[in-house]
Amino acid sequence: GDSVTQMEGPVTLSEEAFLTINCTYTATGYPSLFWYVQYPGEGLQLLLKATKADDKGSNKGFEATYRKETTSFHLEKGSVQVSDSAVYFCALSEWGAQKLVFGQGTRLTINP
């Protein structure tokens, strides 16, 4: 079945550092890909998405590019802030079906 694998956490960085969180997926069709963020005490929020190969999703300085050849959707940000501290989830949904399949999450802590 479909699956998502994220890099193991937790990840701790200093403010203004460059961030990469790796995500790879396995799917039988052509899924849409998502990054969700969960801030402490809050529900999941959509951070960005891409619906087809080579699409780049971006939001709040975060970017991820849908790479079909490597089945990857890595999350990047050029300069992280303390307020970016949260748990990040990579997810996919198959075309025509809104069931989201999530990775295990990566806890990110940014130190001032």
Partner 1 sequence: DAGVTQSPTHLIKTRGQQVTLRCSPKSGHDTVSWYQQALGQGPQFIFQYYEEEERQRGNFPDRFSGHQFPNYSSELNVNALLLGDSALYLCASSLGTGGDTEAFFGQGTRLTVV
- Summarize as ranges the residues that interact with partner 1 (CB under 8 A): 4, 31-32, 36, 41-46, 49, 51, 89, 91, 93-105
Quick one: 91 or 108, whose CB is closer to partner 1? Answer: 91
Nearest C-alpha neighbor of 13 from the set 86, 100, 92, 93: 86
SS3 20: strand
Report the nearest approach of partner 1 to the CB of residue 45 (Å): 7
Quick one: 50 or 110, whose CB is closer to partner 1? Answer: 50
Quick one: 31 or 74, whose CB is closer to partner 1? Answer: 31
Report the nearest approach of partner 1 to the CB of residue 24 (Å): 14
DSSP E strand stretches across the chain? 3-6, 11-14, 19-21, 23-26, 32-38, 44-50, 56-59, 62-65, 75-77, 86-93, 101-102, 106-111
Nearest C-alpha neighbor of 90 from the set 101, 76, 81: 101
Report the nearest approach of partner 1 to the CB of residue 63 (Å): 18
Quick one: 84 or 93, whose CB is closer to partner 1? Answer: 93
